[in-house]
Amino acid sequence: MLVSQERTCVGLLSHGFLCFLQISQLVEDVQRLQASITKLQETSAGQIARLEEQLDHKRQHIARLEARLDAQRDYDDVKRELRSVRGGGDVFGIVCKR
């Protein structure tokens, strides 16, 4: 019976040691994955910041282009009115004659 108890003890110790090794490996895996997550979060935050900056630059460029379009429309309106005045058209309710 003593031999049987020793085998049981050895078996339990072996099983316990294997469990310890598995737990140790799992702890290492979790730590490695947490480090990967942290690095990904930092990388993503940097990319988001760069994209937001690019978006801001694009919005500013769009605003400048819209201002140019507005100025061009104003210029076109003035040219149209000038042609109308030169051509003897009715501008502002005034008939121009040559």
Tell me if 62 is assigned to some domain.
yes
Q: Is residue 76 part of a domain?
A: yes
Selected residue with higher pLDDT from 90 and 37: 37
Q: What is the pLDDT of residue 66?
A: 96
Three-state secondary structure call for residue 87? coil
Q: How many residues does the chain have?
A: 98
Give the structural domain span for 51.
Answer: 2-84
Number of domains in the chain: 1
Q: Name the nearest CA neighbour of 36 among 25, 24, 44, 48.
A: 44
Q: Is residue 93 part of a domain?
A: no
pTM above 0.85, yes or no: no
Return d(Cα 10, Cα 49) in angstroms, integer.
58
Q: Does the residue 80 lie in any domain? A: yes
Residue 16 is predicted with a pLDDT of 83
Indicate whether 66 belongs to any domain.
yes
Write out the DSSP string of 33-49: HHHHHHHHHHHHHHHHH
